[in-house]
Homo-oligomer: A and B are copies of this chain.
Amino acid sequence: MSKKLTKREEDYSKWYNELVVKADLAENSAVRGCMVIKPYGYAIWEKMQAEIDKMFKETGHQNAYFPLFVPKSLFEAEEKNAEGFAKECAVVTHYRLQNDPDNEGKLRVDPEAKLEEELVVRPTSEAIIWNTYKGWIQSYRDLPLLINQWANVVRWEMRTRLFLRTAEFLWQEGHTAHATKDEAVEEAKLMQKVYADFAENYMAMPVIKGVKSDSERFAGAEDTFTIEALMQDGKALQAGTSHFLGQNFAHAFDVKFTSKEGKQEYVWATSWGVSTRLIGGLIMTHSDDQGLVLPPKLAPIQVVIVPIYKGEEQLQKITEKVTEISSELKSKGISVKFDDRDTLRPGAKFAEYELKGVPVRVALGNRDLENGTLEIARRDTFEKQLVNQSDAVSVIEELLEEIQVNLFEKAKQFRDNNTTEVDSFEDFKTIIETNGGFVSAHWDGTDETENKIKELTKATIRCIPNNAKQENGKCILTGKPSSKRVIFAKAY
């Protein structure tokens, strides 16, 4: 495989696929639609997990673990949820293999080992969890129940893409139970805010917070709160969702509690999740034709130091200086890699770390030793500066912060430049077909209109923004009255 990436403007989709593989993030596996997350990609996920998990715990949530399998009878209990996921379920029907009598050395499913009840590999865990909560909740004192699970889930998608849509993916799913409707709605909104904070402050990915229309809502939810980001190719990415589930699962699994007043009441629920899909969003928000660009807060390696040397003696002197600088960087919590491999030239190393999106690259050569300098290059702008060694640590520290801010600002500017208000269906179609991006337009609030627009343009309503202002307008398709604009886009 060539080292060079396809350019984004040539073929964005090809660029993405190549980048994911060449930057050593992930690859397709022998299992249809399932990916292997390689160490470098997984290290990004670990950084994401650590931050998100901290945010969950700070908002009072605890982790737990529920079974991978959902018995069919539980799976089908909440009808809308079941209907939404039934078409993409991996189903376990047998629990044993045996030697194939017709095929020596091969195995076959043992027909005697058929399960009485089939098991669905969880596409999401509401059913198994609410069946469990039934035993945990008796009184208002047991509420709220604020639980999160880090897990793998499986949805048998027909068209898959690394990170963005895979049959198996890693995610977290929060499942909370509340005594009142208001409290559950507040929880769902709080987690939307947590997701938005994470996306913006760590991923440097600006998002619009909003609520989904009826037809885009999670199967089994009353309301789905979403964060929507805009990718470089003008398509939207749903980056995280938080659902107010009403009492649907409480009814389906008969989960009631005794209120302070001694009455039996059904419990109110939320669920919310983000997944390894976020890594796809991270890539498509910041990366360029040279490869991955990572915000410092999520970069597994924040600083790479490359020695420029001839012979062992020079390398040794450089190594001494580097050890000094990198131990100071490490003491400040900055992750540093010193790449002294003798099998690659410096230029090849530079290209490799550009491809892998390491935010700051330091080069230190023999002349630098004489002059007490080193060269610092930033990945986001490719700017280089010659710096005194004594200033290196403070310059790098500031630079990491600056890159984090710059990536967010750049992405926000892109998003704002590619958000268009339109007031006619002609303009709508033109924008969607040419520039793409977020299109802010009036809509009459009906499923029918939404579906018609989707049919005609492939654009869907990404969300009704939380901060949409009241404004009298007319639906771009039907001309019927509308009181606020919604955000349309083609989406991943």
Contacts and interface: CB of A to CB of B under 8 A. Distances in A.
A11 to B, nearest CB: 24
Most buried by B among A65, A92, A109: A65
Interface stretch (A66-74, A228-236, A408-416, A455-463): A66-74
A348 interface: no
A97 interface: yes
Contacts of A34: 67-69
Nearest to A66: B36
B118 A71 contact: no
B87 A31 contact: no
A151 B36 CA distance: 13
Given A29-B67, A168-B68, A107 B90 contact: no
A31 B69 contact: yes
Most buried by B among A87, A135, A147: A87
Interface stretch (A38-46, A386-394, A443-451): A38-46
A59 to B, nearest CB: 15
Interface stretch (A75-83, A183-191, A349-357, A362-370): A75-83
A128 B86 contact: no
B91 A95 contact: yes
A19 interface: no
Interface in A133-170: 135, 141, 147, 151-152, 154, 156, 168, 170
Contacts of A120: 97
Contact of A128 (B31, B63, B69): B31
Given A69-B31, A70-B31, A343-B141, A64 B36 contact: yes
A434 B147 CA distance: 45
B107 A96 contact: no
A369 to B, nearest CB: 29
Interface in A317-369: 343
Return the 4 tightest CB-CB contacts between A and B, nearest first. A39-B62, A34-B67, A37-B65, A86-B97
Nearest to A62: B39
Nearest to A136: B38
A406 interface: no
A132 interface: yes
Given A43-B62, A71-B30, A131-B30, A93 B94 contact: yes
A105 interface: yes
A146 to B, nearest CB: 9
Interface of A: 27, 29-31, 34-39, 42-43, 45-46, 62-72, 74-76, 79, 82, 86-99, 105-107, 109, 118-121, 128, 131-132, 135, 141, 147, 151-152, 154, 156, 168, 170, 343
Contacts of A69: 31, 34, 90, 168
B62 A86 contact: no
B121 A97 contact: no
A76 B107 contact: yes
A71 B74 CA distance: 27
Contacts of A107: 72, 75-76, 82, 86
Given A72-B107, A76-B107, A97-B120, 7 more contacts: A29-B132, A30-B71, A30-B128, A31-B69, A39-B147, A43-B62, A82-B97
Contacts of A343: 141
A248 to B, nearest CB: 15
B89 A170 contact: no
A135 B76 CA distance: 41
A31 B64 contact: no
A63 B45 CA distance: 10
Nearest to A75: B107
Nearest to A106: B76
A105 B76 contact: yes
A80 to B, nearest CB: 12
